[in-house]
Amino acid sequence: MCGIVGWVDWKQDLRDKGHTIDRMADAVKHRGPDQAGTWLSNQAALGHRRLIVVDPVGGEQPMEKLYQGSSWVITYNGELYNTLELRRILERKGYVFNSRNSDTEVLLTSYIEWGTECVKSLRGIYAFGIWKESDQTLFLARDRLGVKPLFYYCLPHGILFASEAKCILKHPDVKAQVDGEGLAEIFYMGPARSPGHGIFKGLGEMEPGTWILYSPEKLSIKKYWSLESRPHFDSLDDTAARLKELFVSSVKSQLVSDRPLCTLLSGGLDSSAITALAAEGYKGQDGDALATFSVDYSDSGRYFAPNYFETGADNPWIHMVSNYLGTRHHSIVLDNVELAQALESALLANDRPGMADVDTSLYLFSREVKKEAVVALSGECADEIMGGYPWFYDPEVTQTPAFPWIRMVAERQRFLSPLLLGEINGDEYLQARYKEAIKEVPSLEGETTVEVRMREITYLNITRFMSTLLDRKDRMSMAQGLEVRVPFADHEFLQYAWNIPWPMKNCQGMAKGIFRKAMKGLLPGPVLERKKNPYPKTHHPQYGEEVRKMLLRILNDPLAPVHALIDKNTLQYQIESGRPLFNRPWFSQLMGDIQYLAYLWQINRWLEKYEINLLL
């Protein structure tokens, strides 16, 4: 994986703007610590930071290719899993390749041959920009599910694009401004984010499955892929077989790497299934067994108690799977104080407040994994696609017209300032975003009321909640220079699973029953039947004490910028009295009282660190 940046300007000569592009690219050197490159012309400047995974010699970027008198240049972040297949097709068409097996050159050549239609042939995760010098056109594209990020900012006479917002904010013509809509995203949608919303004023995010074609005449945006609803005719057995076929294909295609590869193993169904196939198909450079990694917290077991979302400890299951598959397992144990201290690092990686210790743990976990591996496979997306979360099965939640993972809105508003409440109607904002999402759902004639609603809930999870987890995974892992691949986020697997009828998805009376059936024989029976357990968080009071102290310091600082947005007195009284803020998670499965305090701390540090001008 890599970090990419670009600048097109019709009024300036960019050949002497290399220092600006270098500054923008250096902001994401964590994404690409191995190499740096810049390409400049009159109207275009491209930058790249490279994490070497495949073809160390032949994949340097920005990559330029001359063909029929034209110059084409690419800066690219991602991995193509059908590189060899595309290369053979292009070679039959007469194209000659200079690299050994670079997916960058295959992608660039695909655009030369098929133009904007090339994206329909790509299987993988990607975000890229291609400049055609003769036509003075820029083509930007993002993968179908938005695994890899891509932001853009329109200038009066040009455009900027980059992997992360921080790169664009390094440009001298861009200011870090946030208006009421951006704050609504932070305080109500957050730590999720509406698709396409970059939080900072003027900053857009390319939505998954879209491309942009930019020329001196116009800027065109097109959605090139979306889910399609169609009747499902396969029997139960045939559905399980087809699901397994697609899953096996996805996992095995993602084992290609010239650098050490591992899996992230929680002992749950999804990560265990990936690990089983990876352990079978991957052989290390020295013939070593597959490395697996798990995360936990010091002394966490002393304070853990099962609850509605967290059903039990992962460790016994992790060791069961590792022993069964013969992996080289590494159990990473994180320090609770360091977990709190890393809140700023996670914030800077994310460019906005995030999921508190859920983020920082992944940030620190990725640091430890990177000591042995450069590529990791992870189990994100299965629960959104297959219906694994508890809220899929709560009638009160499914019958409520709202995002299932956003809760306690009225309770949270107690802690907001009159200024912010006067600027934003949180309920109206959330309802508007919810209705936008529901309008997108591709309907299927003949479905029952229950089937229609479960299709809507699944769509919300795939297009809204899943993007939050993919964002988190990308930012926290790439902040450590670790490439994480997500086999469940394969568009062919997703498209097929999307149309499996809800009762069939939950066959055998279990959530994700069809996937459990598909994986039969691959894993031990108890693992196949294990209930959903979320990514682990710390339950040690030491973390909570550290976060409370950090936030109280802010509340006692009259110059803290967050005071304009919160009701300091109400919040401080609540903290010092020891009374709980909420009676259940206010976001997702893990965000409770301490996570809310950490989120507010991150908001304050975000305002300070990015020198944000609030437009209220």
Active-site positions? 2
Closest CA to 581 of 357, 336, 419, 410: 410
Phi-psi region of 68 (alpha: psi -120 to 50; beta: other; left: phi over 0): left
Token pair recorded at residue 587: 């976001």
Rounded to a whole number, what is the largest CA-CA distance in the chain?
74
Both ends of the chain: CA-CA distance in Å?
A: 38
For 281, other C-beta atoms within 10 Å of its C-beta total: 14
Helix (H) or strand (E) holding 26: helix 18-26
Instruction: Measure the CA–CA gap between 257 and 262, rounded to whole angstroms.
Output: 11
Which residues 6+ apart lie within 8 Å of 497 measured at CB? 243, 385, 386, 505
Token pair recorded at residue 196: 């396409």
440-446-448-452 Cα dihedral, nearest 10 degrees: -10
Instruction: Measure the CA–CA gap between 419 and 565, rounded to whole angstroms.
Output: 7
- Cβ atoms of residues 486 and 384 within 8 Å: no
- Lateral strand order in the sheet of 2-9: 35-40, 44-50, 2-9, 158-162, 151-155, 203-205
DSSP string, 449-502: HHHHHHHHHHHHIIIIIHHHHHHHHHHHHHTTT-EEE-TT--HHHHHHHHTS-H
